[in-house]
């Protein structure tokens, strides 16, 4: 009887583990080595090459320049469970607080110094982790956690991001909260500020 109970417990734990893994799977598994070109043509070396980062124009302003390299712009990534992005930060610019609901991000600093922040929500009270990154440093932002970056230097900063999903998604907190016309009363009560402040925050969202 004891052995049967032990077997039942072991079976339950195995099934629970499999269920957890399934629930956390970001992308379906590709059963081929790679997805062939959609037009049916045989693949060549150009199919596996993305030249779109060779000449990037840096737009000056308060926000980081983000060039996504995903399945939309680079079809060879289809089914491979990865995506990338080149981030260029003009002096004083910020990559606003946001999350990637379907993918973990690793950020590799190519040039300059960059301040990054990550909010851990494991505990009942959120914890903020901040770090100054230098050239060749790597920082990881776990899937679904709020994070941001800011360039406090006087120089252009460049970084390359890799994601654990073909489509990691992007939830910008400022745009999500203030750019979709949530009832102002909800926001004023939630943030305990006046309606004038909410109106100003909403007005600057694209």
Please give the distance of CA 4 from its chain centroid, rounded to a whole number: 45
What pTM does this model have?
A: 0.81
Q: Is 201 exposed, middle or buried (0-12, 13-18, 19+ CB in 10 A)?
A: middle
Q: Answer whether residue 8 shows pLDDT above 50.
A: no
Q: pLDDT digits over 77-95, tens only? A: 998 999 999 999 999 999 9
Confidence of residue 26 (pLDDT cuts 50, 70, 90): low
Dihedral of alpha carbons 77, 78, 81, 86, sign: positive
Q: Domain 56-169 in CATH: superfamily? A: Jelly Rolls (2.60.120.10)
The residues spanned by each domain of the chain are 56-169, 171-205
pLDDT at 205: 86
Q: pLDDT digits over 136-154, tens only? A: 999 999 999 999 999 999 9
> Of all residues in the chain, what percent carry a pLDDT higher than 90?
71
pLDDT at 22: 39
Phi, psi of 163, rounded to the nearest 5 degrees: -125, 150
Annotated binding site for Mn(2+): which residue ranges?
Answer: 98, 100, 105, 147
pLDDT at 28: 64
The closest alpha carbon to 128, from 139, 138, 117, belongs to: 117
pLDDT at 13: 37
Q: pLDDT digits over 141-188, tens only? A: 999 999 999 999 999 999 999 999 988 999 999 999 999 989 999 999
Annotated binding site for oxalate: which residue ranges?
Answer: 95, 100, 105
Q: pLDDT digits over 27-70, tens only? A: 666 667 898 898 989 999 999 999 999 988 888 999 999 999 99
pLDDT at 18: 36
pLDDT at 30: 61
pLDDT at 33: 87
Annotated binding site: which residue ranges?
Answer: 95, 98, 100, 105, 147
């Amino acid at each position: 009887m004891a052995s049967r109970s032990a077997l039942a417990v072991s079976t339950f734990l195995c099934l629970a583990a499999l269920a957890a893994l399934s629930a956390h799977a970001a992308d379906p598994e590709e059963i081929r080595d790679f997805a062939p070109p959609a037009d049916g043509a045989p693949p060549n070396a150009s199919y596996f090459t993305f030249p779109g980062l060779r000449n990037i124009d840096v737009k000056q302003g308060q926000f980081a320049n983000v060039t996504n390299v995903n399945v939309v712009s680079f079809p060879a990534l289809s089914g491979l469970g990865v995506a990338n992005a080149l981030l260029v930060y003009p002096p004083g610019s910020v990559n606003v607080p946001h999350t990637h609901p379907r993918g973990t991000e690793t950020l590799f600093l190519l040039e300059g110094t960059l301040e990054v922040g990550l909010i851990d929500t494991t505990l009942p009270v959120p914890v903020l982790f901040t770090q100054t990154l230098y050239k060749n440093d790597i920082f990881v932002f776990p899937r679904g956690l709020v994070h941001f970056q800011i360039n406090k230097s006087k120089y252009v900063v460049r970084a390359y991001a890799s994601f654990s999903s073909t489509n990691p998604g992007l939830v910008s907190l400022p745009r999500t909260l203030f750019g979709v016309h949530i009832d102002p009363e909800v926001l004023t009560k939630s943030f305990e500020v006046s309606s004038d402040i909410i109106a100003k925050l909403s007005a600057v969202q694209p």
